[in-house]
Amino acid sequence: MSIAAEVNDTGVPRGSLAVWSLGQAGFVFKSSQGAVVYVDPYLGDACRDLYGLERLVEPPLAAAEVRADYVLATHNHADHLDPDALPEIARHNAAALLIGPSSCTATMREAGIPASQTYTLNHDDVLHSGHVRIHATYAHHVWGDPDDAPDAVGYVIDFDGLRVYVSGDSLYHERMEGIADLQPHLACICINGRFGNMSAAEAAHLATVLRAQTAVPTHYNMFANNLADPADFIGALQAEGGIVHPLVLTPGQRVFYPERDAS
């Protein structure tokens, strides 16, 4: 069942945020002011067409159903910048900004998305728009592979003082420890431990270094060659002292953050 109507109809109490998982590294965030931010929505089958990788999880909505104010891509890989979904999203959201590092916005424009709908954020760039502040953070998605993404970013998104960090794809790097200065409350961090990404233990350490209140494991179980067990992340957070609360989401699931009754 599509989550499109739920995203549109959900009212968010002041001081909280509605969060939906899209699977892989994708999320939807909706603020109490009604701002809707999509991050890395992988909604089609581009990875099947490009690499022969079949989805193991159905998308929780179609690209044409997306209604967003901002759509963020962390880097220029098809499971993060969906080459089929983003042009469709742009067509149905003429007022939305599609945001990413330089390689991403170049790809968007090459796909026919009007330049007026794109906005480039590279490492440490900031966009303050309405009630949302988006800070592009350092990511290290470089592992000596032809698929290296040297301008990959993460994001800290500030919704009126409630801050979310999304790592995108990244290895652990000391430079990322400075993201703690942005004081994220909720951290969504990759745990798959391959293809240039942190392991569950490294992700748990980063969440703890960032002093996040809650951490969501991401980037696993979409493809058969990229399976991981979120229980390993939960155990690793405990080994780090249990300071950070784990939150495991299934694709299409909605939660409110801070956690509360979702009725």
User: CA-to-CA distance for 147 and 160, rounded, in angstroms?
Assistant: 36
Pairing of strands 186-190, 214-218: parallel
pLDDT tens figures, 104-155: 999 999 999 999 999 999 999 999 999 999 999 999 999 888 888 999 999 9
Contact status, residue 205 vs residue 180, Cβ threshold 8 Å: no
What is the pLDDT, as a whole number, of residue 146? Answer: 83
- List CB contacts of 148: < 8 A, sequence separation 6 or more: 141, 142, 196
The answer, yes or no, to whether residue 1 has pLDDT greater than 80, is: no
In percent, the amount of the chain with pLDDT more than 70 equals 98
Rounded distance, CA 206 to CA 167, Å?
A: 10
Specify which residues 137 forms β-bridges with. 154
pLDDT, the chain, mean: 96
Position 101 pLDDT exceeds 50: yes
Tens-place pLDDT, residues 202-232:
999 999 999 999 999 999 999 999 999 999 9
Residue 259: what pLDDT?
Answer: 80
pLDDT at 248: 98
Q: Is residue 263 over pLDDT 80?
A: no
pLDDT at 262 over 60: no
Q: pLDDT for 158-169, tens place per residue? A: 999 999 999 999
Q: How many beta carbons lie within 10 A of that of residue 133, not counting itself?
A: 17
Where in 102-234 does DSSP place strands (E)? 118-120, 126-129, 132-138, 153-159, 162-166, 186-190, 214-218
Question: What's the predicted TM-score (pTM) here?
Answer: 0.97
Domains of the chain, earliest start first: 4-245 (3.60.15.10)
**What is the spatial order of strands in the sheet that 214-218 belongs to?**
126-129, 132-138, 153-159, 162-166, 186-190, 214-218, 245-246
How far apart CA 193 and CA 205 sit, in angstroms, is 13
Q: DSSP class of residue 149?
A: B
The residue among 1 and 183 whose pLDDT is bigger is 183
Alpha helices in 54-199 (DSSP H): 85-92, 102-110
Mean pLDDT of 35-47: 98
- Nearest to residue 129, comparing CAs of 160, 166, 83? 160
Residue 228 per-residue DSSP state: -
Instruction: Give the mean pLDDT of 45-58.
Output: 97
Beta carbons of 141 and 172 less than 8 angstroms apart: no
If you search the block for the tokens 């002011």, which residue do you land on? 33
